[in-house]
Amino acid sequence: MNADFYILRLGENAKTIESLVSGLSNEQINWKSAPEQWSISHVVYHLWRTEEKDFRSRLEKTLRNPQEKWTPLLPQEMRLEQIGDENNLGKYLQNFLDEREKSITWLKTLENPNLQNAHQHQQTKLSAGDLLASWLAHDFLHVKQIVRLHYDYINFTAQPFETGYAGKWT
């Protein structure tokens, strides 16, 4: 695994996420395709809290001492619907960007990290390499989610018109 590639992509993904959620109306940032689904505001809140409480701290602990106990993640810390404050996308985005910058700065200080170090997490072992790869994959899952929210919002607001001429979403 080329850790430098992952570090670079994590930095670039922060810019991608910022671009995808900037300049949107309150209606769009809070719009959901269904009541049980997340809005763009939910996604960005989750990205911030995950950056702050999950990947960086768990990777750091796994590299330093794989046997060290991880701090449990509380649902109310990770999911915006637990606190019900959807109208702060700018704050959530800035907090995510600040936390991501801290992560990138820390990651760049690592010299030959032992990505084989593994932590026993519930029923599975997670290596530092697994965590780094999952961190980047997590970004892309939520980039995909944000793009899908944009696509669905266009289809919703375009009614009675259709977007079929653009091509089929697969």
pTM comes to 0.90
b/e per residue, 51-79, with b = 16+ CB within 10 A? bbbbbbebbbbbbeebeeeeeeeeeeebe
- Residue 18's CATH number: 1.20.120.450
Would you state the structure tokens that stand for residue 163, as one six-digit string?
């977007």
Q: Residue 36: what pLDDT?
A: 84
State how many domains the chain has: 1
Q: Residue 156: what pLDDT?
A: 96
Structural domain that includes position 96: 3-166
For residue 66, whether the previous peptide bond is cis, meaning omega lies within 30 degrees of 0, is no
Q: Residue 81: what pLDDT?
A: 57
Q: What is the pLDDT along the chain (170 residues), one digit of tens a residue?
A: 999 999 999 999 999 999 999 999 999 999 999 988 899 999 999 999 999 989 999 999 999 988 888 877 666 555 655 555 667 899 999 999 999 999 999 999 999 999 999 998 877 899 999 999 999 999 999 999 999 999 999 999 999 999 999 998 88
Backbone φ, ψ for residue 154 (5° rounding): -60, -45
